[in-house]
């Protein structure tokens, strides 16, 4: 596994989005514009920390998790991979930072990752996922289940 640059400068409540695909700059601009739109029923201001460094090209989930592991306030990281950048929905890959060591036992970890440790979400869902995981209002497994139930496997806010 390669070492990636350290993630620095993220404010505690900023969404972390890491660009891992560098084939289409216009599509990336479309993704960032969608992520910076006001969100939620009250049209909250979007706070996003973007990692836009070609050193991250093709980074895997495990490489990204290893690079952000030191951020104790981060429950989820979003990857703008090839699929996210190229798809019309721009559904980013949401990845839990939860590790087995943070759980009571194997059964607890399996329950919390029942639908996997990752799922896709449209940009409009990124802030909802991040905010609710940050305050413990909902769990990663709940969002992963909603994505699992979607015909395309994507979480879409209600």
pLDDT tens figures, 54-70: 999 999 999 999 999 88
The DSSP annotation for the chain comes to -----------TT-EEEEE---S-HHHHHHHHHHHTS-BTTTTBPP-EEEE--GGGTT--HHHHHHHHTT-TT-SEEEEE-HHHHHSTT--EEEEE---GGGSSSHHHHHHHTTT-SEEEE-HHHHHHHHHHHHHTSS-HHHHHHHHHHSTTSEE---
Average of per-residue pLDDT across 130-141? 94
| pLDDT at residue 30 greater than cutoff 80 | yes
| pLDDT at residue 1 greater than cutoff 80 | no
Give the model's pLDDT for residue 158: 78
Average of per-residue pLDDT across 96-113? 91
Confidence (pTM):
0.95
């Amino acid at each position: 596994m390669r070492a990636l640059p350290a993630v620095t400068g993220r404010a505690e409540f900023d969404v972390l989005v890491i660009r891992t695909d560098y084939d289409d700059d216009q599509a990336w601009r479309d993704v960032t514009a969608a992520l910076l739109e006001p969100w939620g029923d009250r049209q909250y201001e979007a706070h996003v920390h973007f990692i836009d460094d070609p050193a991250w090209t093709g980074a895997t989930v495990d490489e990204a998790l290893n690079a952000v592991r030191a951020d104790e306030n981060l429950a989820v990281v979003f990857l703008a991979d090839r699929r996210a950048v190229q798809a019309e929905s721009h559904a980013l890959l949401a990845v839990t930072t939860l590790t087995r060591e943070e759980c009571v036992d194997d059964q607890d970890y399996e329950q919390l990752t029942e639908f996997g440790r990752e799922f896709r979400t449209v940009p409009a869902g990124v802030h909802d996922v991040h905010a609710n995981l940050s305050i413990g209002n909902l769990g990663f497994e709940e969002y992963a289940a909603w994505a699992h139930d979607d015909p395309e496997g994507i979480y879409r806010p209600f």
